[in-house]
Amino acid sequence: MTAPPSEATLDLEGYHAGLRDYLSSSSVLDRWRGLDHATTEDRVAEHAQLIGELFRAGWSRYGWPVEAGGLGGDERHRAVFYDALSAADLPVPEQYSLLETLGPPLVHFAPDLAAAYLPRYLRGEEWWGQGFSEPDAGSDLASLRTRATRDGDGYRVNGQKIWTSHGATATRLVCLVRTGTAAERHRGLTMLLIDVDSPGVTRRPIALASDRNELAELFFDDVAVPADRLIGAEGKGWAVAMYLLQFERAMYAWLSAATALRRLRELRGQLTGHRLPDGAASRFGACYADLVALRARSAATVRRLAAGEPVGPEASVDKVLLAQVETGLHDLARDLPATGFLLGDDPAADSWRADWWYSRAATIMGGSAEVQRTILADHVLGLPRERGA
């Protein structure tokens, strides 16, 4: 089957069955199975090609509104899509992680921008970075300093962002900037869509311990941004950020769990014919149990999003479980000799090492595990605060 059935929007089971049939029968997709990459730039370039192929076949367009290049449906279609890719031993393209985070707020708060630019993202022609963190504003975004000053029909942006995911290769940035005073804190923030190739934008890739440019820092020197690049209203950027956070907690967690399941299968395959070290079997079981717990919790969050219900602070559970899955899986790969983790010079071993280094940030990026547990203690469990807090 090369084209999805028109009724797939309403029939989730039909969509899933047709998608599985397409993924298993299309020989074109074999190019991306078992493919490892030496650099981040190589990986995202290859994944862009895969995104384009999936878009042309039509299956990746479900779950997104027609007005923004999709074919209708909801978050459940996208969840099924990521599961099916991983089950077919295909990578979930790297760019989808931020599509899930940045696409929904654009659709909700800036439908004209979504109509203009989201189809390009869905086709793999471009992807975006998330410009939130700054050198002095990581966990406390209310203290960020990058400023957008009104200038006629637009804004002039000055400041710096750091630890920007996809910042080294992104075409555009969804940036949280200050348009009000510092004293206004959250109330003085605004969300803008900024082109990376605008005059005055400088980006510097950040090489991680793996020597891969997973992140970047960006500098804005009097960058002109048209007023029609507003996402939401001026001064209401915090509301956009909180809406965005639902998808970062829910859809990103589901997508990441699908990838982790594929990687766990790959790890098991690498051990065929090798004697397992003591305790390895139980650790495999623990990793799988953590994944099942994450998916059970994340499925409930995805269903709430699909029903149009707000996702509350309990979604912090998803974030805590995801960090546990990612660190546990990659620590297991590190400790199994068959992966060649320590001394192997083949692409597969290099890939496990790079992913292990990146997994070290799982308990920090997107909100540290300590912050997530505090949110759960305060707003879900209602526990008494520590004395002096």
- d(CA 126, CA 120) in angstroms, rounded, equals 6
Given the residues 248, 266, 309, 314, the one annotated as active site: 248
Look at residue 233 and give its three-state secondary structure: coil
β-pair type (172-178, 128-131): parallel
Per residue, the 3-state secondary structure of 235-281, as one string, reads CCHHHHHHHHHHHHHCHHHHHHHHHHHHHHHHHHHHCCCCCCCCCHH
Would you call 314 a catalytic residue per the annotation? no
In the structure, how many helices (H) and strands (E) does the chain have?
11, 7
Residue pair 141/241 in contact by the 8 Å Cβ criterion: yes
Question: In the structure encoding, which two tokens stand for residue 195, read together?
Answer: 């082109």
**Beta strand segments in the chain, E:** 128-131, 147-151, 154-165, 172-178, 189-195, 201-206, 215-226
Per-residue CA distances from 310 to 62, 244, 255, 297 (Å): 22, 11, 20, 15
Catalytically active residues, by annotation: 248
